[in-house]
Amino acid sequence: MPLALFDLDNTLLNGDSDYAWGLYLCAIGAVDAADHRSRHEQYYKDYVAGVLDINEFLEFQLKSLAENSTDVLKQWREDYLTQQIEPMIEHSAIALINQHREQGHDLVVITATNSFITKPIAERLGIPTLIATEPESINGQFTGKVNGTPCFQSGKVEKLTDWISKNKYNLTNSWFYSDSYNDLPLLLEVDNPVVTNPDEKLATVASEKGWPVLHLFSNLPSNLIPHY
């Protein structure tokens, strides 16, 4: 079956799940709010510009997982999903997912954000497969390190290639939806790239290549899947 691959943040979600996790931690006093917001905003600017140092960012991002017990983190995550994520899920995103499901496509979320945050979001969206950055865990406790390759830029292609090989899929007639210039390596690999709610740099590439652009959160047709 063809694969329908979806980036998560600012693609299926009307917002950024990782940034929202940081805001949640600030709100409950789990991190120093002023320092955390300042650093995260700079990392986000670097991400949009396509110059993010992913290893430096992940050291920052995963620190809160290492500093707290898994039981506490899971409790926080439940509150975060209700407070931060549910408002980001819009009918249009669910409709797009359902259109691919109805066509018999196999659905995958592929995201740079770590799996501790994103696994329940993918489940909430009804997407059974998640490929994400994996935080290292030893004896049930997060270490603050990454297990394997970060699922970012070319690393996203690497992790998808590994998953495809293990699960006997291929990219024939595949789809990939993304908002970010950082996902250009994977957009170039699929047969049906769809630029979705794009940042400025990716919108420029889409215009040059004639790729369809889907603004998922405004003025939508009833059939969301572009025709090639």
Q: Is residue 174 over pLDDT 60?
A: yes
What's the CA gap between 157 and 202, in Å, rounded? 17
Residue 159 lies in a domain: yes
Residue 41: pLDDT band (50, 70, 90) is confident
Between 1-15, 27-41, 124-138, 176-190, the lowest mean confidence (pLDDT) is in 27-41
Q: Report yes or no on 228 lying in a domain.
A: no
Q: pLDDT tens digits, residue range 147-160?
A: 999 999 999 999 99
3-state DSSP call for residue 46? helix
- Residue for token digits 């329940």? 120
Give me the domain span that covers residue 40: 3-214
pLDDT (tens digit per residue) in 63-82: 999 999 999 999 999 999 99
List residues with catalytic annotation: 7, 9
Residue 219 lies in a domain: no
In a domain, 103, yes or no: yes
Within a domain: residue 222?
no
Say how far apart CA 181 and CA 197 lie, in whole Å: 11
- Kindly state whether residue 227 falls inside one of the protein's structural domains: no
pLDDT at res. 37: 84
Residue 226 in domain: no
Q: In what order do the strands lie in the sheet with 3-6?
A: 129-133, 106-114, 3-6, 175-178, 192-196, 213-214
Residue 223 lies in a domain: no
pTM, rounded to two decimals: 0.94
pLDDT band at 224 (very low <50, low <70, confident <90, very high): confident
Residue 201: which CATH number? 3.40.50.1000
Residue 60, pLDDT > 80, answer: yes
Count up the domains in the chain and report the number: 1
